[in-house]
Amino acid sequence: RKAELKQLIDQPSLSSDGRQVELAANIGSVEDVQKALDNGAEGIGLFRTEFLYMGRSALPTEEEQFKVYQYVLEKMNGKPVVIRTLDIGGDKKLPYMKLPEESNPFLGLRALRLCLDRQDLFRTQLRALLRASAYGQLKIMFPMIAVVEELWEAKRLLQEETEKLLGEGVTVAGHIEVGMMIEVPAAALAADSFAKDVDFFSIGTNDLIQYTMAADRMNETVAYLYQPSHPAILRLIDMVIRAAEREGKWVGMCGEMAGDETAIPLLLGLGLHEFSMSAGSILPARALIGKLPQTEWADHARKALAMRSQAEVKQFVQQLTRSEA
Ligand code: PEP
Ligand code: MG
């Protein structure tokens, strides 16, 4: 079985009826890039930049960040690389940054909210990203957006830094795709209001499930509510994909759900374009997708949307995949 999977390393990701999707890797450090390539990643779907800021005593400089982004882009050799701007706050704290104590950090000043509050820090990261864009196919992604004004403000700052760099004679790629994560239920429900102003969405199911179910993703006592294939979650995903399709934009997923064997057939059926996961899940996912007829799963997924529980959805998917195998 291992040898079988190895043969898929440089193959495209095709369903049994020929629908092509992209299987990408989530990375959290520079070392992860080689692992992604060794496992047949067609791109990086999520580069978590937090590691650059953690385990040290001061903020990383623009130059330090630039070197890391440039390395990853060059190493990926023209394949798409989605780099997410800083997602700190929530459970992730920086010892050298004084932030107000919050009683609900996951509902507080985290990710883009923090970056819009601390624009100095955000602008430094944007400049490093823009300078690195000349070395590969960079896509920039903003986390934790709830309302459209946050997207507009982030894009305005990006535009300002672009103009400054160009004014300084620095090379910046001519077109950089800009997207946002969908991980707040409000953003999923109102995805149509964002779709015009982004190039892509990437659904962050780790947080989207947590916020939809009102269940802390780290809290074992409510882990039973962590249900990726619950119809409530599937309906949100469906809304996001439909809203993007109407504007001709692509949709990825970079939460754990993208590598989940029960979820993959449904996500393929709903029309997800890009699946980003930990490197080790890519080849098994490619093998699984190769057995699935996309158009039939589009019908199955419609039925799953109308079901009443995750248990019902799981049983339905398992029965179908067993009969296809
Ligand atoms: C997510 O929320 O699904 C996600 C990919 O982001 P993180 O796990 O880093 O919060
Ligand atoms: Mg998240």
**ipTM of the complex model:** 0.99
Give me the chain's average pLDDT, please. 97
Rounded to the nearest angstrom, the distance between the alpha carbon of 17 and the centre of ligand 1 is: 31
Q: Is a pLDDT exceeding 90 seen at residue 193?
A: yes
Cross-strand bridge partners of residue 20: 14
CB-based burial label for 17 (10 Å; 0-12, 13-18, 19+): exposed
Distance of CA 178 to the CA centre of its chain: 12
Calculate the CA dihedral of residues 74, 75, 81, 85 and round it to 10 degrees. -80
pLDDT value, residue 325: 67
pLDDT value, residue 99: 85
Q: Is a pLDDT exceeding 70 seen at residue 86?
A: yes
Are residues 318 and 240 in contact, defined by beta-carbon separation less than 8 angstroms? Answer: no
274-277 and 177-182 beta bridge pairing: unpaired
Q: Verify whether ligand 1 is closer than 6 Å to residue 206 (CB atom).
A: yes
Q: Against a cut of 0.80, is the pTM above it?
A: yes
Q: Verify whether ligand 1 is closer than 6 Å to residue 254 (CB atom).
A: yes
pLDDT value, residue 323: 85
CB proximity list for 270: less than 8 A, separation 6 or greater: 234, 237, 238, 241, 298, 301
Neighbour count for residue 247 (Cβ, 10 Å)? 14
Rounded to the nearest angstrom, the distance between the alpha carbon of 216 and the centre of ligand 1 is: 13
Question: How much helix, strand and coil, in percent to the nearest 5, is found in the chain?
Answer: 50, 15, 35
CB-based burial label for 75 (10 Å; 0-12, 13-18, 19+): middle
The share of the chain scoring above pLDDT 90, in percent, equals 94
